[in-house]
């Protein structure tokens, strides 16, 4: 499940993207024509090639390597005296109070390319829209997402090849980051869930556009919709970046109509019939498949262009949609959805640290035992002062 590397006293909130629930279910069933045999020969006719999956495993390795590098850069022992698993040296984790997912600090994630809207807009660091999908907030976070990627991605790559699935993954991740940046502008967002939801959305559109070649259509559609609804429902919990999920899902859903189109059933049957069989020529794809492909491509391009323009102009869509924040978090008596980023001015003289909260003007003087406070300690003191 998605969580926030807890921000008790942290001036940067981290939104992480979790694994998808029960991704072992594979609702897209095998085509009924997969076993057609040509007359007069014992060779089985296979209408679709099976690809060897190598890109998705490479993505998994890349995400794990990036996480290890992030932990090396984090170097917890240098900045904190209460690291978890200190025997790992530089790879040890931040204190559980700061990050219960067993991972780096918010500062390190920001340094490594986490999605920070302020830097995207004011420092022209648009590359963070892509880099954030390769970062994870902790061991639990990266393992859960990579398990989901293996369950979903490998099968899709076997069916459609590395080019289409690779593009689908990256573009969906970008779409998730873009929508997240337009709504969630007070913290850092990291994780691959936008891309994973894109793969899930593409599975749904692939089933719709290739409807004629599938058996058990209704069951497959109902199963897939149920999985989508359950996973999106998880996003209403606090500190979950559901906008990244929604943006990734919508992007993947539209891309599925473009990248995952299959020939229609009659065309496949004709290709698998005996050479002497006479039949009227059938078009490879149905007209509605072409229509869905063109409409989806136009919607995707227009959406990305408009989204980028609004983002780079500093637009906060929460100001134009008073209810949209409920799509990412629904407040209850058990939790609060509000998040606030606090800032302090700091001066240090020897072992004395002076902080002034910029939001309420309060000042505080703190004596430091070692004279070299960690970033987390400063953020904790600042949060206490401002709140």
Residue whose structure tokens are 């990291």:
190
Query: Which pairing describes strands 187-190 and 352-357: parallel, antiparallel, or unpaired?
Result: unpaired
pLDDT at 163: 95
Return d(Cα 69, Cα 374) in angstroms, integer.
20
What distances in angstroms separate CA 143 from CA 64, 102, 156, 165, 215, one per listed residue? Answer: 8, 11, 20, 21, 34
pLDDT tens-digit readout, 191-220: 999 999 999 999 999 999 888 777 788 888
Name the residue with higher pLDDT: 279 or 284: 284
For 196-210, letters b (16+ CB in 10 Å) and e give bbbbbbbbbbbbbbb
Count of CB atoms within 10 A of residue 264's CB?
A: 20
Helix (H, G, I), strand (E, B) or coil at 270: helix
pLDDT at 363: 81
Count of CB atoms within 10 A of residue 312's CB?
A: 14
Catalytic residue positions, numbered: 193, 245
Domains of the chain, start order? 13-327 (1.20.1540.10), 344-386 (no CATH)
pLDDT tens-digit readout, 288-304: 899 999 999 999 999 99
Is residue 267 predicted with pLDDT exceeding 90?
no
Is residue 338 predicted with pLDDT exceeding 70?
no
Confidence of residue 20 (pLDDT cuts 50, 70, 90): low
pLDDT at 332: 78
Q: Are 87 and 368 in contact (CB under 8 A)?
A: no
């Amino acid at each position: 499940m998605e969580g926030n590397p807890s921000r008790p006293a942290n001036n940067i909130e981290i939104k992480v993207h979790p694994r998808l629930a029960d991704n072992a279910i594979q609702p897209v069933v095998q085509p009924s024509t997969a076993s057609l045999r040509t007359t007069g020969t014992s060779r089985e006719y296979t209408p679709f090639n099976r690809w060897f999956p190598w890109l998705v495993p490479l993505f998994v390795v890349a995400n794990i390597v990036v996480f290890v590098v992030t932990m090396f850069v984090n170097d917890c022992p240098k900045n904190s005296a209460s690291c978890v698993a200190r025997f790992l040296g530089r790879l040890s984790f931040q204190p559980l109070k700061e990050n219960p997912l067993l991972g780096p600090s918010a500062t390190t994630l920001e340094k490594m390319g986490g999605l920070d809207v302020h830097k995207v807009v004011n420092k022209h660091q648009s590359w963070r829209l892509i880099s954030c999908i390769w970062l994870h907030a902790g061991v639990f976070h990266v393992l859960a997402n990579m398990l989901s990627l293996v369950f979903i991605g490998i099968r899709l790559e076997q069916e459609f090849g590395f080019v289409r699935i690779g593009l689908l993954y990256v573009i969906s991740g970008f779409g998730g980051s873009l929508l997240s940046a337009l709504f969630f502008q007070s913290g850092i967002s990291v994780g691959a869930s936008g891309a994973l939801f894109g793969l899930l959305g593409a599975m749904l559109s692939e089933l719709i556009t290739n409807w004629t070649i599938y058996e058990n259509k209704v069951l497959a559609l109902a199963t897939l919709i149920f999985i989508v609804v359950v996973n999106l429902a998880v996003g209403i919990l606090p500190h979950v970046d559901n906008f990244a999920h929604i943006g990734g899902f919508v992007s993947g859903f539209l891309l599925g109509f473009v990248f995952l189109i299959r020939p229609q059933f009659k065309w496949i049957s004709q290709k698998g019939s005996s050479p002497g069989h006479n039949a009227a020529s059938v078009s490879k794809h149905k007209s509605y498949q072409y229509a869905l492909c063109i409409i989806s491509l136009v919607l995707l391009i227009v959406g990305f262009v408009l989204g980028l323009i609004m983002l780079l102009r500093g637009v906060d869509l929460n100001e134009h949609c008073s209810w949209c924040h409920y799509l990412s978090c629904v407040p209850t008596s058990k939790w609060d959805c509000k998040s606030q980023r606090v800032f302090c001015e700091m001066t240090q003289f020897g072992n004395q640290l002076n902080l002034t909260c910029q939001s309420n003007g309060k000042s505080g003087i703190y004596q430091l035992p070692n004279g070299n406070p960690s970033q987390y300690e400063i953020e904790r003191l600042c949060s206490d002062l401002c709140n």
